[in-house]
Structure 1
Amino acid sequence: MSTDKALSELADHYGILPRFRDLDRVERPTAPDTQKALLAANDVDVSTDAAIRDSLKLARRDRSTRTLPREVIVQSGRTTALTFPAIAPWSLRTDDTAEPLACGKPTEHLTLPPLPPDIYVLRIGSQEITILAAPDTLPQVPRQWGMTCALYGLASDRNAGLGDYEDLARTAEALGAHGAGFLGINPVHNMGYADHDTISPYSPSHRGYLNTAHIALDKVPGAARVLDEPTRAKLRNARTIPYRAHKSAHHAALETLHRTFRQGPKDAEFQRFKSGGGDDLLTFARFEALSELGGPDWRDWSGIAPEPANLQVDYHVWLQWHAAQQLAAAQSRALTGGMGLGLYLDLAVGPRRGGAETWCAQGSVAQGVSIGAPPDHLSPGGQNWMLAAYAPRKLRDQRYRPWRRVLAQTMAHAGIIRIDHVLGLYRSFWIPDDGSPGGYIRQPLDALTAVIKIEAARHGCAVIGEDLGLVPKGFRDTMRGHGFYGYAVMQYEKDAKGRFPDPARSPTQVLSCFATHDTPTVDGYATGRDIDWWEKLGWIDAARARAEHCKRAGEVSAVSKARPFATEVHDRLAVTNATLAAVQLDDVLQETETQNLPGTVDEHPNWQRRYDVKVDALRADNSLAEIAQMMQDAGRGPQEGPKNED
């Protein structure tokens, strides 16, 4: 066999797609160099022609010698007759315990008892099979409305310049009083204690732990003595959010509070949190402590102490404890304040490559590649998001533990979550570091979806899959069958003539909204603020800008013939068939600028805008009251939380 054929067979074995079609339907084959880079990312030796042939032999041998499947997905709560015999004595246990739940002798017909949602290990002789016992579908929710906002931008007279978890709780209470069912925010993943530069919540250090920058200092005992009001006022009054200054002052205050905490009596609740977090929590805290010595990117670490002092590790556990307490309190107050779902949290596509998540789960991460997107009409050069990817087979061998950790953290304090770029559960576009073209690799959709359903059942959480753009035929139907809600953005659903969709013809199993954090607000869209930015940045010339403004004006006037554009947009959201309708706080407050302008870093104030209206004034806001009445008139009143269909 030639080396090229051996390489192709090996690539197919590891799920690397041989080709894909771009938006212009042009077929793009996966180059041999790309195949090699993606195989190397999966720890497959392809360094020489001989190594390629040897790796293929190992793959074939593994396929031929294994007599039982590696994993099986079963429906939880039901007796399951397996399609293969127990050829040796067998035992069944949960993945996180050593004690067997059941065991037996060899048998031709092995039947599993009804299992609660979880991941199990079935051992037959020397072979182990992962059993994913998942509900048939994700939890479902009744018709309702809610609001999305930027947590970092929430303003109040008590925070330290950055919206915090107490602001979140108060905002949820204000919205609950108006009949809203949920409050959605940007991801609150951990951003890295030592990272003073990254501000995008979609470039986290670890998605399985929380952003401690949102800890409300005045809710930590003794905080009044560590951050004076003049310092708070200076941070709050800055034109845009002063991330660096906030982090410096916030850290100093928290470090002082921790010194006071450790000098007091042992706190039983803290000890329970620490013990419950297990080795995963301690490993993460160790990364944070090491990062204070070596910097936020572990790939640059050299010459630092291999073991930080226990005191440093304890401090970072303590920070996670306070963040988790405050986020849990926000969810509790949202529910008691009248919301059916409470918090609607966002799960980012992936972590930064040098952050805590890749350090903690090195055995599951693809090496030498980043997640991105192929070239299209919006980005002719493609997109490299500089985010890490999990290697499918590595993750399977870990029984999806890192993925479960991420899901559990996001769902623990939410009634509903949104998985960004849900197509990544089916396939991922990996861009090699060596300059080779990017390529797609298949993901274990059924297994990853089963894990999501397991965690969703455990936490009573509904799930939205962000499925914008082109997706493979049948993908959306498959995801709806699993119980995912789709994501319908009005700006992206215009027809070829620029007309917005008819609400009476909209799908049901979706969350409908006008905009995302990457698109113009209602006012920004109506005034063409995004077009102004394109011209300012030199992306289009003046003539093109005039043409785009003229086109936009026509689209807006076609919708708002009898009333203001914003009123028409919110009325359409209210009456749409969509189960879930989301309004942006930016639009309630008539903001013009978008939260983030894709394609920019410093040219636009991305992730830095603060809302002009303070949290405590929202309950009495007239625009909010009008929109809430519109929603109630359309039958989107207060509702109960998510329900499992099983």
Structure 2
Amino acid sequence: MKHSPNTDTNIKKSSVSLLHQLARRHGIQPVYRDESGNGRVVPDESLRDLLRLMDVPGQTSQQVQESLTKSKESQWTKLVAETFVIPQSKLSSGWTLHIPIESEPLSSIHITWTILGENKFRSTHQARGSSLEILARKKINGRQYLRVTLPFPRHLPLGYYALRLSVNSPSFRTQGSSRIIVTPDKAYDPPSYKTSRGLWGLTVQLYGIRSERNWGIGDFGDLNDLVYWAGKELGAAMLGVNPLHALLPGEISPYSPSSRMFHHPLYLEIERILEYRESPVARRRVNSQTFQKTLATLRSSPTVNYDLVKGIKYEILEILYRFFLKNHLAPRSRRGLAFLRFIQQQGNNLEHFACFQALGENFSGTRSSGKKTGGWQDWPEDFRDPLSSHVQTFSHKHSSRINFFRYLEWLCQDQLNEVKRTARRIHMPIGLYQDLAVGIDPNGYEAWAFQNQLVTQASIGTPPEIFSPKGQNWNLVPLSPEHLHQQGYEVFIKTFQSMMAGGGLLRIDHAMGLFRLFWIPRGKPPSEGAYIHYPAEALLAILALESQKFHTTIVGEDLGTITPLIRKTLSLSGLLSYRLLFFEKTKKGNFIPPRRYQKSAMVAVSTHDLPTLKG
């Protein structure tokens, strides 16, 4: 049979169309507009690569068709969604359930569900099939599925809940579970914003601060002094600081964190630690001539000598930890018991983080080194899974070393909390203003611990554009939108709970990432990347919940190419906009007057990656 000239082309177009459909169903944008307004089509190979990273088969036309069918059918065959994020004001809309039925009458179906929450909250409900409101029906592979809605309790408080569900009929019995997140309509809006004409503050890059007593890098003691000075003497409402996230050995950029849930021990003020005041050995070492000479060199250095700073700080921290073990933890002093309570409160997350730190030391063959080492992907395979038996055995065998890293985080949180207490004591309207990096180092803790919620073989960046013709690869790991939803937004929630503890103000770097991020498959150039959409409505709702809980104001960094609709969505969610003096100009190039700035905005002169006002 002779083919018409367009047959192969039509087949190819059909295949591409299905590939684009599959991509869109998984949040991948196959066509986007660049900053000049030109349409760009993502290469098919890139779409297939990104689908593969999402565990979606799509390398052949048959796989594309099968995955597309599976994606459509799963909307019906899945008993209940893994997570419901529902504003408290919309609880009356209920939740959706899909029930498979055979030939039995609807009246024979019996549903029982229990909602469990904090403070021993428990609410159990039942329904018969005959009382259900059927929204739709669908027949799949010869089986009928019903889509129905069931009610939430009328007055469900804000917070997190577990849903336990069972559906019984004469021909089948099935069970399911889900997470319910009940959220407020908007993020926290402090009363001080309504009663003040305008609040102002300062920002600092903490690592660059020098004082007569610090050890060559700004520390939490300096931060505490700055908060007191800015708030008490200058009348500032806040003091901003760079991200204080935990970093990998040898990494110095605060925007390439190993973890956004934990802190960088180099910021510890050693002499403020109780064990330092109690330990003659530590004080004798610090007061020695050679040590003081090193401190003088570090204090006079125009840049931070990270290797040397880490070397001397960790030398003393090791001494303090041994003193703590002997004099506090072993005899269960009041301080030792406080540390044990901290470990219990932090739970498995801190345990895994401390274990990751110890494993990194173990496989790099260095202790307290400031040199860069290989990532966890280079570890023996048995240790790449945080839940493996080998990791658990290592944790038990090296419990003392793991407690050392818990001890460091305990000290960090204690000193940072002291800064926040100082801000409250002097009645600063806002207090500490912290910064959240946009992503995670692929070699870092969170990329190892939360592999089921991140895409470790992709990187965040930007497409080719006027000021960056080849695009940008930031070498930061993105969250997986689908896996995030399936895991109840666990890593997202833990990150913001850690950042918001103690209140204040939090700036989210690249807030556009709540809506979409540009992914680049590892090993590929930015020209072969694509935009991935995120469940912005759910993410913003969770942010609002944590913001209200911790009384923390949120600023969404909305600079660059961002649509008016996204800016409006951020504003309606209660997030402050972010404006820069350098960018707020008239068409003639003059700076606009303050009265013309958006009211619900934080205004800054510049940022960490732009020139200072002086130049």
**Take 1:135 and 1:226, find their aligned partners in 2: how far apart are those partners?**
53
Instruction: Tell me by how many angstroms 1:466 deviates.
Output: 0.2
1:301: how far off?
Answer: 1.8
Query: For 2:428, what is the secondary structure of its paired residue?
Result: coil
Name the CA distance, whole Å, in 2 between partners of 1:377 and 1:138: 35
Q: Which amino acid aligns with 1:202?
A: Y
Q: Which secondary structure state, in structure 2, belongs to the residue aligned with residue 508 of structure 1?
A: coil
Say if 2:430 is the partner of 1:341. yes
Q: Does 1:272 align with 2:295?
A: no
Out of 244, 255, 258, which is 2:307 matched to?
A: 244
Structure 1 CA distance, aligned partners of 2:153 and 2:27? Answer: 30
CA distance in 2, matches of 1:268, 1:284: 21
Whole-Å separation in 1 of the counterparts to 2:444 and 2:80: 37
2:183–2:542 CA contact under 8 A, matched in 1: yes
Alignment of 1:475-490 (within 5 A): 475-490=566-581
The code of the aligned residue for 2:286 comes to: L
User: Is the CA contact (8 Å cut-off) linking 1:85 and 1:110 kept in structure 2?
Assistant: no
**Structure 1 runs (4+) greater than 6 angstroms displaced:** none
Partner of 2:228: 173
Correspondences of 1:209-228 after superposition (within 5 Å): 209-223=262-276, 224-228=283-287
Please give the residue correspondences for 1:140-151 in structure 2 after superposition, counting only pairs within 5 Å.
140-141=189-190, 142=193, 143-151=198-206
| 1:254 corresponds to which of 317, 325, 332 | 317
Match of 1:65 in 2: 77
Is 1:33 matched up with 2:124? Answer: no
> What CA distance in whole angstroms lies between the structure 1 residues aligned with 2:576 and 2:376?
37
SS at match of 1:523: coil
C-alpha distance in 2 between matches for 1:359 and 1:250:
27
Deviations 1:212-256 (A, max 9, x none): 110110111243344333332222111211111101111111111
Residues in 2 aligned to 1:395 and 1:199: alpha-carbon distance in whole angstroms: 28
Q: Structure 2 matches for 1:216-615, cutoff 5 A?
A: 216-223=269-276, 224-228=283-287, 229-264=292-327, 265-266=331-332, 267-295=336-364, 296=373, 297-302=375-380, 306=391, 307-308=394-395, 309-435=398-524, 437-524=528-615
C-alpha deviations, 1:84-112, integer Å up to 9, x for none? 57971111124x89x76211111645232
Question: Equivalent residue of 2:218, what SS?
Answer: coil
Instruction: Report the Cα distance in structure 2 between the residues aligned to 1:150 and 1:225, rounded to whole angstroms.
Output: 31
Per-residue Cα deviation, 1:361-397 (whole angstroms, up to 9, x for no partner): 0111113210011122221111110000010011111
Is residue 82 of structure 1 aligned with residue 94 of structure 2? yes
User: Helix, strand or coil for the counterpart of 1:130?
Assistant: strand
Q: Is the contact between residue 162 and residue 179 of structure 2 (CA under 8 Å) also seen in structure 1?
A: yes
RCO higher in structure (CA 8 A, sep ≥6): 1
5+ residue gaps, structure 2, are 1-10, 99-109, 133-149, 167-174, 277-282, 365-372, 384-389
Give the structure 1 partner of residue 280 of structure 2: none
In percent, how many aligned pairs have the same letter? Answer: 31
Which structure shows the bigger proportion of residues in strand conformation?
2
Tell me, in whole angstroms, the C-alpha distance in 1 between the residues paired with 2:454 and 2:422. 37
CA-CA distance at 1:474 after TM superposition: 1.0
Q: Mapping of 1:194-213 within 5 angstroms?
A: 195-196=249-250, 198-213=251-266
Q: 1:160 to 1:116 in 2, by over 3 A?
A: farther
Maintained 8 Å contact 1:226/1:256: no
Which residue of structure 2 lines up, in the alignment, with residue 568 of structure 1?
none
Q: CA deviation at 1:78?
A: 8.0
Q: 2:247 corresponds to which residue?
A: 191
Residue 518 of structure 1 and its aligned partner are, at CA, apart by: 1.3
Question: Secondary structure of 1:328's partner?
Answer: helix
Return the offset for 1:153.
1.4
Structure 2 counterpart of 1:372, one-letter code: G
Write out per-residue CA displacement over residues 408-463 of structure 1, whole angstroms, 9 at most, x where no aligned residue: 11111341100000000001100112426110011000111111111111211010
Structure 1 CA distance, aligned partners of 2:459 and 2:433? Answer: 28
The residue matched to 2:344 in structure 1 has which SS? helix
Count of aligned residue pairs for this structure pair = 519
Amino acid at match of 1:291: G
- Looking at structure 1, the residues matched to 293 and 48 of structure 2 have their Cα atoms a distance apart, in angstroms, of 58
Range with greater deviation from structure 2 (166-175 or 466-475): 466-475
Q: Give the SS at the match of 1:475.
A: helix
Q: Does the aligned pair in 1 maintain the 2:79–2:97 contact within 8 Å?
A: no
Q: Which amino acid aligns with 2:42?
A: T
Asked if 2 retains the 8 angstrom alpha-carbon contact of 1:364 and 1:390, the reply is yes
User: Aligned partners of 1:463 and 1:434: how far apart in 2?
Assistant: 35
Deviation at 1:40, TM superposition (A): 1.6
Tell me how far 1:512 sits from its aligned partner.
0.7
Instruction: Please tell me whether residue 152 in structure 1 is matched to residue 152 in structure 2.
Output: no
Structure 1: where are the runs of 5+ without partners?
525-646
| CA deviations over 1:541-576 (Å, ceiling 9, x no partner) | xxxxxxxxxxxxxxxxxxxxxxxxxxxxxxxxxxxx
Structure label with greater radius of gyration: 2
**Letter of the 2:245 counterpart:** H
With normalisation by structure 1, the TM-score equals: 0.77
* Partner residue, 1:115: 156
Is contact 1:37-1:368 (8 Å) kept? no
